A and B are shown apart, each in its own frame.
Chain A
Amino acid sequence: MMPAPVTALFQSLTRQASGGRPSTQHTAGPAADAIARLGVGMIITAAIVFAVVMVLLVWPIIRGGSTSEDAPRVIDERRWEFRWIVVGGALVPMLILAGVFVFSLGIMRADGVPSSPYEVEVIGHQWWWEVRYPANGFVTANEIHIPVGRPVRIHLRSADVIHSFWVPQLQGKTDAITGQVNETWLQANRPGVYRGECAEFCGLQHAHMSFVVVADAQGDYDAWVANQVRPAAVPTDSSALMGQKVFLSQSCSYCHTVRGTPAGARVGPDLTHLASRRTLGAGALDNSRGNLAAWIENPDRLKPGTKMPPVPLDGATLQALVAYLETLR
């Protein structure tokens, strides 16, 4: 729709190197591409309208004019009303708006959820995202993998309050509403990691309710699915084994699932392949050994208000638990 140099100019104005930055302008999928083009078109139209109105506004103010004469100019008011108000104030805006409306409607209609064999269920929780792959029978959190170039249908629900599911580089947002299933879809046309966010205020940690969408080439995607489908491996080294005992005997298993062990609670995120994920606490921290230990010790310090309680453990026990969690690849 827009000539390429114009688009490039606009992108340079909102410069924000890609690489996981959640820009609505550096898009990577057909849905967001179309909206970005619409946005650029509207911004250019807006700039022209703004410039014209500014000229019309500022000129009579700065031009000075006769100072002595106090009686108003004699003009044909009917004619002025017609030219300025009927044409300038009503007809021209109507034409512009009709154009904007028609373009918008076209893009809106094109953005219907396509049929696709790939379906993911996403459930918003205070303050993390549960991600289910029903066809493959596994559950993960805060990380959605999709195959490049394929549309993926997303079924959105909420476990508590209203959230909004948003991956700016791929698609506009759709709310996850209590008691209702909404549908949207994602498609990435190049491999990459795309930041997603909760966009509807949902309480204390609304700010830390991000996730990533990882678009993999088909082979990588299949491999990732194959790994996620497997239950957790039985730990081999003694420290990890001890850590597993801690996990099952302490409060961890009241809330979390690790498939392949008796832990099957669904309150918190499924940890079966925790170590394969990029972040902890829905984007609050990078997933590193140190962060993991600090998180378990006192999650509230790192993400005030989080629903996970602190787990008081002595140093050795904590190290063992972390060692176990690190095996969940």
Chain B
Amino acid sequence: MSSTAERLTAIWEPPRSVYSWFATVDHKRIGMRYLVVSFFFLALGGLDAAFMRMQLARPESHLLTPEAYDQLFTMHGTTMIFWYASPMLSGFGNYLVPLMIGSRDMAFPRLNAFSFWTYLLSGMIHYIGITRGIAPHAGWFAYAPLTSSAYSPGYNTEFYTLALLFLAISTTAGAINFIATILTMRAPGMSLNRMPLMMWSTLTTSASIVMSLPALTAALVFLELDRRYGFHFYDPVRGGAPLLWQHLFWLFGHPWVYIIILPATGMVSMMLPTFSRRRIIGYDFVAMATVSTGLIGFGVWAHHMFATGIPHLAEGFFSAASMTVSIPSAVQIFAWLATLWAARRVERTTSMLFIVGFIVLFVIGGISGVMVASVPFDWQAHDTYFVVAHLHYVLIGMNLFPVIAAFYYWLPKMTGRMLDERLGRWNFWIMFIGMNITFFPMHILGLRGMPRRIYTYPGGLGWDRLNLIETWGAYLFALGVLLFIINVVRSQFSGAAAGSNPWKAAGLEWSVSSPPPPYNFVVIPTVASRDPLWDGHNEVGHPREERLLDESKETLGTSVLDAEPDRRLPMPEDTLLPLLLAVAITIVFLGLLFRSMLLGGGGLVAALLLTAGWMWPSNDREVTT
């Protein structure tokens, strides 16, 4: 037995070195990097917000110039939505998907490394501007023609456009990787209807990315051509239309909302049954609700445009679709509630507290979402603090809270150390109370007529006190996040050892040690139910059978529907190619940014050559496919 594990370690674990740090293709190391970097971006975006709240604490404040304020709220929005919310979930996905489906890595490990490097480098391009006071300043949805060269000359908007185009490469590559992994690499016996629910949400999300991100790419390409080369897509004087931007942006933007909450709801569907000590009620309903949320998400974009003068008939349609999309969410919530009621006892861990907090905030954010889906109410609430409140309940409630719950739940798996439960309780209550003090009053401010994105406001309009309260709430919330960071850091030094399955959970990831070995599974497991560790199915691997795969770096490929073993999948060794290709593409974007044909052309040629090198089979191995 030990000899198999030793053999696998020799095959899968390269010696630790500077080279292996840059060259690694291990999904666990990459996943961890995603988590760390996206948490760093969360902190940066939070810092932007802290400055904004300081400015808004009092009326007629002159702490920040209008230009600084505009850059801060733009960077806050783009950072949180693009460089925090989705990559954070990619981090969990990267780490957990192969472990949950019983695989040794992702389908395309090198592409996975490439996704990470491009994510990191695009974030750096995005942040160049703020170091020189020329960050993007037109808001995260950057409506034309405010972004045109006439109204936004200079570099500001370039950072937004190019960094997002760059990030789209990373996100698309990641989504394709997830789909291919889940469809072809599930452990034998894990047919589609036995997948962990998080796989359904990851599949839905990834498919949404594949179909929605091109809309943003199209919008940004048009914008860049208008700005740089005098094209006229958004110029009404020459046959263009500013509303084209809004249609394209929200065609992307609303599916994106579900892209950054569905994986989180998927994680909740994994954690909540564990603490209820029973399987989830309504697996089929939750899976179908997840898929239909993703689908309906493509039919609601114009609810961001109720004030633009589109025809009433269209408004009615989009209003109905927007209300319909809340039904699958309600289905998910009631599946969780049913599971809790069917439990003998719910374990009140910190993770579970964050899940309860998530459901509370989900309900509030969902209800305010239905309210703004009502066309006439939206005419009043649109572009006010009511919408700011709504979107923060959605994004903090449905993304950040499940993410923190997931850290309490899975970080022990990743590091082998438990987080402190007592500190965790403080962490939860301070974040939960801080969140509500910050954002609940914004509903009222919106109804009191406070528009969003104003850098200051006159006193005496009934806005002063609530704004001050919100600012204090924001600092309380920040304190809660700080407690979380302290808890994580402390756990690495003094946390209790986790063991392989501290929560007595059902998923395959809990069958391996914490942290998992580099090859994940000694033998690719077989699966006989949706909850493999609870079903009493005790298996023994045969030393010569097809699931052992201990002769070279390989994992098992299975069929799409029934997950029957079908092929060996050779896995690549560590390589610098992903990093080099990401750097080459960075050079292309820097060339575009600084209008240098030399940089742009050189980077492009380098990228093509590196891709060719990537595709060429390495000499010492047979051509396998």
Contact = CB atoms under 8 A, between A and B. Distances in A.
Touch between A and B in complex, CB under 8 Å? yes
Interface of A: 14-17, 21-25, 32, 34-35, 38-39, 42-43, 46, 49-50, 53-54, 56-58, 60-61, 64-67, 69-70, 72-73, 75, 77, 80-81, 83-86, 88-90, 93-94, 97, 100-101, 103-105, 107-109, 111-112, 126, 160-162, 164, 166, 168-169, 171-175, 177-180, 182-183, 195, 197-207, 283, 304-305
B66 interface: yes
Given A53-B363, A108-B375, A168 B146 contact: no
Interface in B279-294: 279, 281-282, 285
B451 A198 contact: yes
Nearest to A10: B447
Most chain B Cβ neighbours within 10 Å, of A49, A85, A94, A105: A85
Contacts of B334: 84-85, 88-89
Interface of B: 65-67, 70, 138-139, 143, 145-146, 151, 236-237, 241-243, 277-279, 281-282, 285, 307-309, 312, 315-316, 319-320, 323-324, 326-327, 330-335, 337-338, 340-346, 348, 352, 356, 359-360, 363-364, 367-368, 370-371, 374-384, 444, 446-449, 451-458, 460-462
Contact of A207 (B307, B343, B348, B457): B457
11 contacts: A17-B462, A39-B380, A54-B363, A65-B344, A66-B345, A89-B330, A100-B370, A160-B145, A164-B382, A172-B307, A207-B455
Contacts of B307: 164, 172-175, 199-200
A126 B364 CA distance: 36
B70 A168 contact: no
A66 B344 contact: yes
B151 A81 contact: no
Nearest to A54: B360
A179 to B, nearest CB: 2
Contacts, number: 273
Given A42-B377, A199-B451, A69 B344 contact: yes
A54 B360 CA distance: 7
Nearest to A98: B323
Contact of A97 (B139, B326, B376, B453): B326
B218 to A, nearest CB: 20
A89 B315 CA distance: 26
Nearest to B284: A81
B139 A201 contact: yes
Nearest to B331: A89
Given A60-B346, A73-B344, A164-B307, 5 more contacts: A15-B462, A53-B363, A80-B282, A89-B332, A304-B67
A32 B345 contact: no
Contacts of A60: 337, 340-341, 343, 346
A162 B237 contact: no
A105 B318 CA distance: 12
A329 to B, nearest CB: 25
Contacts of A204: 66-67, 70
A251 B513 CA distance: 78
A208 to B, nearest CB: 8
A267 B277 CA distance: 70
A23 B462 contact: yes
A204 to B, nearest CB: 5
Given A84-B282, A201-B139, A24 B447 contact: yes
B386 to A, nearest CB: 9
